[in-house]
Structure 1
């Protein structure tokens, strides 16, 4: 008799567990999937545009050494010179170089291009985007489309600055 009671108890527990674990009707399950779908999409949605701010100081430093965007995004970048020195002695710009560009070669060539904000005209194909040179207390804003996914360098091309004022511009795939 005890064996029969134990057997019935095991069967009853198994039936109750399967009934509770089913998760409801097919309609309820479908409704749950539909309700969860928009949340999953919004978590991976990437905005069409992004605003970035980077600062340059009188100590020849950017406050960020990495900026991240997604390919194809419209990027609005604001460079702020938070120092007080004039652009003639401590000017800064922000230059996004193409993947093929060598920052050292570009920086060396930039020293002979003061009339074009230290953007050498024979290396324009190395430049994706750039701000003008600004002095202490000034800011400049540019807008451009993020390039293809990959890693790019950004620099300040004011003479002597590129070696310490640089960073990575990381473009993530869509």
Structure 2
């Protein structure tokens, strides 16, 4: 085998192996714990995705009545109002005001050892817009929050 053939074979192999790694990932896993923390602070949503799924897992042990968590997405400018209205909505409505048009997506409230997921239409996001996600369980949104952006 010539050096050119070896190089070409190596390049082809590298390209084939890297292919799946370069594909857009249209989901993310986020963990919440009993210390009122998420394990991520930002999410980049590939513009090539049609749907994006957030998988929330509560890795703590406390029940949802004591240390429940959810994941709520809105425009950053709307986050404080969404969180305040969510607290008033109560646990039966997952601390999200019914019919709140400012909410792009949200999970249910989960307790220790539980998980939930939500998928949303990426077309609802606009490039350059600032989005925030947070836990709307009363008192949690000031610590449990992050940013989301539409990536190119």
Name the TM-score class by shorter chain: 0.7 to 0.9
- Number of residue pairs aligned between Structure 1 and Structure 2: 133
In structure 2, what is the Cα distance between the partners aligned to 1:57 and 1:83? Answer: 5
State the partner residue of 2:40: 64
TM-score between both structures, scaled by the size of structure 2: 0.77
| CA deviation profile, 1:144-165 (whole Å, cap 9, x unmatched) | 1222223210000000000000
CA contact (8 A) 2:55 2:115 kept: yes
Q: What TM-score, normalized to structure 1?
A: 0.68
Alignment root-mean-square deviation, CA: 2.5
Give 1 or 2 for the bigger CA radius of gyration.
Answer: 1
Q: Does the CA-based 8 Å contact 1:81-1:136 persist in structure 2?
A: yes
Instruction: Determine which of 162, 165, 168 is the counterpart of 2:141.
Output: 162
Gaps of 5+ in 2: 1-14
**Shift >4 Å, 4+ stretches:** 46-49
For 1:85, the equivalent position in structure 2 comes to: 62
Long gaps (5+) in structure 1: 1-38
CA deviation vs aligned residue, 1:43-68 (integer Å, no higher than 9, x gap) = 8xx85651200010100010000011
